[in-house]
Structure 1
Amino acid sequence: ERVPHDSDNEIRNAVLRQVAAVKSEMEQTRALLREQSKECLRLYSKLNSLSPIERLPAEIKTEIFHYVLLSKNFHTTKGGDLPVTPFFLGKICQSWRNFVWSSPMLWTDIHLCLSKRRYESQTNLLCEWLSRTAGCALSFHLTTVDLSRTWILDPPKEILVAFASVSTQWKEIEFFIPDNKDCFDAISVAKTSLPLLTTATVRLLEAVERKIDLFSMAPQLSALHLYPEFYLDTVTAPWHQLREFSHSEASTVDEIRGFLHKAPNIVRCSFNDINSEMLKPWLLTQDLFDRSPMLEYLEYLKFSFRSLNTESTRILGPVKLPSLREISLSGPFDSSLPILDSIMTSFHSSPLLEKFTLGGTISSDHDLIRVLEKIPSIRDLCLSFNTNRYKLLTNELLQRLCPSHENILLPNLRSLTYDGPTSLNRHMRLLRDVLVYRFRQSTLHSTEMHSEPRTSQIRSVTVIAEDKLDIGSDIQHDLDTLVQEGLVLSLTSARIEPWFGA
């Protein structure tokens, strides 16, 4: 074996010294680059500090950022872009990150769309998010992209526990809850600590028989919305202080009547899918229907009936509604005119009533006229009928809308929307005459005669017919002229391209 010569060792050592020197220079260069990078960032920060937004007071800057979060928060765009969150704003630059991280107000609106696939990371993210709120009042919305069954089998207990831990900060809340004892126990701990709560929306994933008293001690609660599967008689709430209430499914006549007795300060209320065929005997107290509810503040009322019978008329009965401004009714009224007629009687003495929406089915214009005669103050009328069995907007109704009729219908009408089957093709000229007078002649009459017109000027008309509308050229010309003069007009056939007036 060859023994290395002394000269080889000297060469090797010299090369190693050179390598060490180069590495030392490289490390010095890296250190210099790091320092230069820091200096560059410092200079950029100084440059950024000269931007207009950095010169704003912190309060104004917070308002701007908060507006951005509210306008975009957790709503993906059509292109699937990620939502704007405080975490997103913190990625823009160091200055923004420092500001966002130290501004609790920017963390007070929480929209969490739960996904089983990302549940663990969402739970961790929520805990971090809540830690930044610093006791500020919170608005949170808990929804899901998964099927209800997913959460019934594997409930989101950890998420509900996290939310319940900050219940003293709740101001506006929306959440869903499966029928699971652990979930109800988790959220129920908040019952005694809701000092700020004003609005609550709760969605049950399936019907539950258990008593629900989460909001029974919420001193500022003014709006409560229950969707769906709630049995109203199982809910305890401060009904007397509510200003808004909605119940989405399977309300019964006695439940609604009982609610109206308990909620004298209600301003807006809505009941969907009302079942008039079922009564709950345990709710039928002696004075439930004998005593009229006191509803002097009620402004908006919506009843959507699944079924109708004589019990339906007992929801309101002979009640005074002096503040009522808007009504929405829907149901199978085609075979129940006396019932609808009786329901409408409750609104006859509401002088401020301006908007009426009627949907479902009704058998004829004759029946519709009887309904509208009871509410002459209406300014905005919306009709939507979902059957081809009866065609409305006939000669009978149009003549009553024409001011030449001695008993004119709806003299204050300013907006008309109709969606459903019509017989307008046989009465298009009469429709044109009604529009011409109601839009043009009413104002001319008041100008020339120096008196109040018989009718208000109609400003908007929308008709969505089932079949093609046949509009002759002469009528088309007159309608175009009205549009040019300012009438908002849309005549649409559901089966073909619409004709719009600007």
Structure 2
Amino acid sequence: MNSRLSIGIPRWPFKRRQGDTRPKNCYTERLTPDILHQIFVESLPKSPYPSLHEAPLNVSQVCQSWRKMVLGSPLLWSEIHVGSFISPNVSFPGHARHLEEWIKRSGDCPLSLGILFKGSENPDPAMVTDVDAVIGKILPHVQRWRRIHLFIPAACRTPFLQALSTGAPYLDELLMNFDMTSMWHPLQADVSLCPQLSKLTLPPDVRFLCDNPVILHRVQVLHLSFTSMDDCFHCLDSCPSIEEINFVLFSNYVDFSTCIGQSVRHLPNLQHMKVHGGVKGSNRHYTNHPRNNIGLFFDCLRVPSLTSLEIIQPWANQVPHWNHLSSLFVRSQPRSSLSNSHSSVEELTMSGSQMDERQFVDTLGYLPHLKHLLVDGCLVTAFTMGALIAPLDTPSSTDSPGSTGIKAESHHWLCPRLSRIGIRRDASEESYKAMARLVAQRWPLKSPSRQVGKEREERESLPGPARITSIVIDQKDKYEVVLHMGIKECVEEGLEVLDHNLEPIHNAKRLATIFNAQRRQRGTN
């Protein structure tokens, strides 16, 4: 090696082979083969790909003994990702060659493979042929598949699905995505012979098929699309161990009125749930007809372990008495007594909500553990934000919005653990004002002079809620507007301003500092 490893290892009395000319003080000479092999395994990147700068190729170039060990270790070659997403400068034959060599060196180890190609709306026949050639390298080894990630043109999907139907006994995770999917020509992914399957992600134009329901008892993660609620309920009934679901219910296909009369599905292990009302083709105009009411789906669920809920709908029409979410949280409580148990939801995201601001506040009353809240601008109003500011146990707030009937001594504030609030879309200046007022009221400023008189006495006499530590705005260029709402000091003291991708807006703190400096300068003058 060109440099020694800077690790403290005792000098072990290894015997050196005759003719070995390497330095006697080489630290790697003191490592047993098992330890060295484990170091190589731990050095593998999260998503291995053919690169001389990454393991296993880089360590195989160090010396002859290391190369012999690396080439003789199938485990180091059991995972690879190829494609234009990974290596855009490599030709199609190059990807096929890398994949073939990796599989050959992997021996009999279970395989984790990723084939990720950037497609196009109308891929030419030559591209389809080249991608098929790459996929053809993994089809004979279906009995060894462990994790498969695919992003390929839709025209290349049939051979893979046919191989899958023959059985993949070691398959644990299957993630498929296709360019230019078509709802009109769906195919089936037969997982009846995949007994180890625990994670399944399929594109909208692929339906999963399983003749043996016992096979799905190990499934914990499902990302699927449905055009029928019957298919959706069949899926839930077949996966009792599910922990995470991401369902797309196409709003112009699904008839939610079929949920009426369905029995309640108890999903004891479900922790993360995302339900998107996607749209394919022409959009259906919203009406108050039950077929459009996604809340009827939530009326069929009981989820006592739920910690994260995301609901995205294409409509934002408010419906009177839309109390399906609050009913879900009440029904999902571990015990029947409201004074002794609460919903465990910590993250709530809603867009295209069908509830009005009063129903929204009532729903928040059942979420004392809520930490992150992201909703549309129509629900961020003076009324809803005021409910998050006023303590529920003061005489002036006994009839305030958000009162849930819970005894004051056990629940002083609405969502007392809330630390992030944001606007997902349709923000207005009034929405920003209401959100800024909430942040300012729930931000214990360093200067005590900001809270004086009766207001300060009330704050000191009550166990205050958590500080709002981050806000989310719907457009990245709106952060200057937010700063003008009176929270410049909060941003300067550490309040994070995030965009809709939850990425920090770094200019916000610098701009807040400038604003405050200008204000202080004007005060001095």
Q: Which residue of structure 2 lines up, in the alignment, with residue 412 of structure 1?
A: 416
Q: Which runs of 5+ in 2 are unaligned?
A: 1-16, 280-285, 333-341, 392-396, 404-411, 514-525
Q: Which runs of 5+ in 1 are unaligned?
A: 1-41, 76-80
Partner Cα distance (2:81, 2:23) in 1: 31
Q: By how many angstroms is 1:148 displaced?
A: 6.1
Matched, 1:157 2:123: no
The TM-score, its normalising length taken from structure 1, stands at 0.71
Q: What amino acid is the match of 1:84?
A: E
Report if aligned partners of 1:116, 1:146 keep a CA contact under 8 Å in 2.
no
Shift, 1:221, TM fit: 0.6
- Confirm or deny that 1:402 pairs with 2:376: no
Match of 2:82, SS state, is: strand
Query: Shift of residue 193 of structure 1?
Result: 4.0
Larger radius of gyration: 1
Are residue 73 (structure 1) and residue 48 (structure 2) matched? yes
For 1:325 and 1:159, locate their aligned partners in 2 and report how far apart those are by CA, in whole Å. 41
2: CA distance, partners of 1:300 / 1:223? 14
Q: How many residues align?
A: 433
Between the aligned partners of 1:72 and 1:211, the Cα distance in structure 2 is: 29
* Partner Cα distance (1:192, 1:102) in 2: 30
**Identical-pair percentage:** 18
Instruction: State the one-letter code of the partner of 2:62.
Output: I
* Structure 1 pair 412–475 and aligned structure 2 pair: CA distance change class (3 A): closer
Letter in 2 for 1:382: L
Structure-to-structure mapping, 1:46-445, within 5 angstroms: 46-47=21-22, 50-71=25-46, 73-74=48-49, 84-113=54-83, 118-147=91-120, 149-150=122-123, 154-155=128-129, 156-176=131-151, 178-179=153-154, 184-185=158-159, 188-205=162-179, 206-207=181-182, 209=185, 211-231=187-207, 238-247=215-224, 249=225, 251-272=227-248, 274-279=249-254, 289-306=261-278, 310-311=290-291, 312-338=294-320, 341-350=323-332, 351-362=342-353, 366=357, 369-370=360-361, 372-373=363-364, 375-385=366-376, 393-404=380-391, 405-406=397-398, 407=403, 410-419=414-423, 420=425, 421-422=427-428, 423=430, 424-425=432-433, 428=436, 431-436=439-444
Report the alpha carbon displacement of residue 259 of structure 1 after superposing the two structures with TM.
Answer: 1.8
Partner of 2:467: 458
Asked if the contact 1:289–1:314 (Cα under 8 Å) also holds between the matched residues in 2, the reply is no
1:100: how far off? 1.1
Q: Distance in 2 between matches of 1:104 and 1:93?
A: 19
Structure 1: how far apart are the matches of 2:43 and 2:193?
A: 34
Q: Quote the residue 1:6 is aligned against.
A: none
TM-fit CA distance, 1:133: 0.8
Structure 2 Cα separation of the partners of residues 101 and 340 of structure 1? 63
**Contact kept in structure 2, 1:211 and 1:234, CA below 8 Å:** no
How far, CA to CA, are the matches of 1:474 and 1:358 in structure 2? 25
When normalised by structure 2's length, the TM-score is 0.69
Deviations 1:280-317 (A, max 9, x none): 89xx7xx9952222312211110111366623233232
Deviation (angstroms), 1:70: 1.9
- The code of the aligned residue for 1:469 comes to V
* Structure (1 or 2) with the greater helix fraction: 1
Please give the secondary structure, in 2, of the residue aligned with 1:95.
helix
- CA shift for structure 1 position 412: 3.3
Q: Distance in 1 between matches of 2:356 and 2:186?
A: 46
**Cα separation, partners in 2 of 1:403 and 1:57, compared to 1, 3 Å:** farther
Q: Which amino acid aligns with 2:48?
A: N
How far 1:338 sits from its partner (Å)?
4.6
Per-residue CA deviations over 1:422-453 (Å, capped at 9, x if unaligned) read 5244785564223339xx99xx999987xxx6
Q: Is the 8 A contact 1:254 1:315 kept in 2?
A: no
Note closer, same or farther for the CA distance 1:221–1:116 as it changes in structure 2 (3 Å cut). same
**Comparing 194-203 and 371-380, the one that deviates more:** 371-380
The aligned amino acid for 1:379 is: L
Whether contact under 8 Å (1:365, 1:394) holds in the other structure is no
